[in-house]
Structure 1
Amino acid sequence: MTKSTTLPTQPLAETERDFLIRPFIIETDPQETHEQPHRHNFQEILWVRSGQGKHVIDGHALTIQPHTCYLIAKGQVHQLITGINLDGLVIRFTDAFLPNFLSEEMGHYQTVLFNNVTINHTLPIPPEALSNFEALLNLLLAEFVAGNGRSNQEVLRHLLTVLLVKLGQVQQEVIRGGGTAVSPEAQLFHAFTLLLEDQYPQNHAVQNYARQLNITPRQLSDISSQLVGRKAKHLIEDRLLLEAKRLLTFTNLSVKEIAHKLGYKDPSHFSKIFKKKTQTTPQSYKTN
């Protein structure tokens, strides 16, 4: 694979606008397998009814299982390796496609389902929920295929909202074993993840995020620990480390260039932190 200074970003096709749902076409389109690692500028859900395969998200190899959703957040590095007799759906959407009220009242969907902070990409659908889940997806697909104007777009937006709420309920069970209410803590954590995703290269300190959220650093760390089991400081470090690994693996940027890109004024300090986290130097990681 030829490396460049940037990772390729795969957009939604112009004709797809801000939303797409379609069946897998892996068996008829060889380009969908053995693809090069890439980022998305949209959120993606892979729904697998049956079949098998393997894909990689941010370096984590996952075996594809039936009756499972795989969540790929905007910005994550993704590569589909193999797909055999896969039956299912691909759902892609931009944040701009969502109804306004979703961002206001259910904005935690990005925290729970799509983020670059936690590493839970796999969401098995419980057997008792399969029938209703399939019915919702079939309705979403039929409405997309019908494609009859503005009212159709509104229906798609709200069906997608229902899907995200349902997936959020299942995911909350997986992560916390708890209920589905949108707590003030969840809303704050959602806001933190948005700030983190936007500011991590230049903003490495917990207190800077806490100040923007009008809470103390201790409160932010407590909320983070409560919701995802890790302190805010560690999530910031994890996000920086994740991006460092992406850039070392998939670009030809030098270690010094990557350090500066991630906001480290002293490349040796970046190398020291990276080695502490990974037990190897950035240059060795890049070479290997």
Structure 2
Amino acid sequence: MARQPNSLPTQPLSETQRDFLIRPFLIETDPQETHEQPHRHNFQEILWVRSGRGKHAIDGLELTIQPNTFYLIAKGQVHQLITGIDLDGLVIRFTDAFLPNFLSQEMGHYQTVLFNNVTINHTLPVPPNALPNFEALLGLLLAEFNSADGRANQEILRHLLTVLLIKLGKVQREVVSGGGTAVSPEAQLFHEFTLLLEEQYSQTHTVQDFAQMLNITPRQLSDITRQFVGRTAKHLIEERLMLEAKRLLTFTNLSVKEIAHRLGYKDPSHFSKIFKKKTKTTPQAYKTT
């Protein structure tokens, strides 16, 4: 696997579609999507696989591609489409800025459910009874995207995407916790924590500091994270740090010392100690495997 000297390449949407894109995913006519190098995106991505099979790696986790399934790739995650046979479906890509402003609080909740680097469930199989509704919605999105450009066109796309995310959020919550649609104060705090964690993980490593940013106690923060994902805030902070460490060890030529400093560890030996505790191997050994 080729390594980048300092960091992974980050791909933008495109020169012409800066905030939203939807297109058919046909492996026979889209060879550039196969055997691609690991990379990051600066947008959220949804793959809808209608039929076919293959393999797709997200943050080093190899997933078997199955029909009638959505695959979610969060902004910043390392991913790679490895193989595909007779794949048919759609690719949807969008930036955070594309979502409607008036739904920011609710959409923030759905983005927390669907797209984050810690708790994301990458695979969302669609129940058979829900397939017609999803296909109809995706058809509307694709038709509107391919129609004439204009302000109204963009607004329609935004709202159709909003409906899709809400429906996917419902499926995700049912998979994870058995339901519930209201955006509670605890859910809003959990959303704010995940955003802060994504922004601050390389500068802030303690539950106390994150809790202070949220104006709650460390115990309250851990109670909230346990409620939504069954893990303490400390566990999520360490998990996010180790995820980024694994990415940098696998996909860059940075030394262990450089990675430790990039992740905010002043003492590289402390980083190595935590990494070994969490992964049962040293950073150097992980890098060479």
**TM-score bin, normalised by smaller chain:** over 0.9
Which residue number in structure 2 is paired with residue 30 of structure 1? 31
Could you give the per-residue CA deviations for residues 152-207 of structure 1, whole angstroms, max 9, x where no partner exists? 00000000000000000000000111221111111110000000000000100111
Please tell me the root mean square deviation across aligned C-alpha atoms, in Å.
Answer: 0.9
Shift of 1:119: 4.3
Alpha-carbon distance in 2 for matches of 1:10, 1:145? 23
Alpha-carbon distance in 1 for matches of 2:234, 2:3? 35
Which residue number in structure 1 is paired with residue 244 of structure 2? 243
Shift of 1:3: 2.8
Alpha-carbon distance in 2 for matches of 1:238, 1:2? 23
Q: Please tell me whether the aligned partners of residues 25 and 32 of structure 1 are also in contact (alpha carbons under 8 angstroms).
A: no
Aligned residues with identical type, % of pairs: 82
> Which ranges of structure 1 fall in alignment gaps of 5 or more residues?
none
Residue correspondence of structure 1 range 79-228 to structure 2 within 5 A: 79-228=80-229
Alpha-carbon distance in 2 for matches of 1:152, 1:74? 25
Q: How many residues align?
A: 288
Alpha-carbon distance in 2 for matches of 1:111, 1:224? 12
Alpha-carbon distance in 2 for matches of 1:27, 1:108? 37
Which residue number in structure 2 is paired with residue 253 of structure 1? 254
AA paired with 1:180?
T
Alpha-carbon distance in 2 for matches of 1:109, 1:236? 21
Runs (4 or more) in structure 1 with deviation over 3 Å come to none
Which residue number in structure 1 is paired with residue 266 of structure 2? 265
Aligned-partner SS, 2:28: coil
Which residue number in structure 2 is paired with residue 278 of structure 1? 279
AA paired with 2:225?
S
Aligned-partner SS, 1:108: helix
Q: Please tell me whether the aligned partners of residues 55 and 82 of structure 2 are also in contact (alpha carbons under 8 angstroms).
A: yes
TM-score normalised to structure 2 length = 0.98
Alpha-carbon distance in 2 for matches of 1:37, 1:103? 31
Q: Please tell me whether the aligned partners of residues 46 and 91 of structure 1 are also in contact (alpha carbons under 8 angstroms).
A: yes
Q: Please tell me whether the aligned partners of residues 114 and 120 of structure 2 are also in contact (alpha carbons under 8 angstroms).
A: no
Aligned-partner SS, 1:17: coil
Shift of 1:2: 3.6
> Which ranges of structure 2 fall in alignment gaps of 5 or more residues?
none
Which residue number in structure 2 is paired with residue 57 of structure 1? 58
AA paired with 1:89?
L
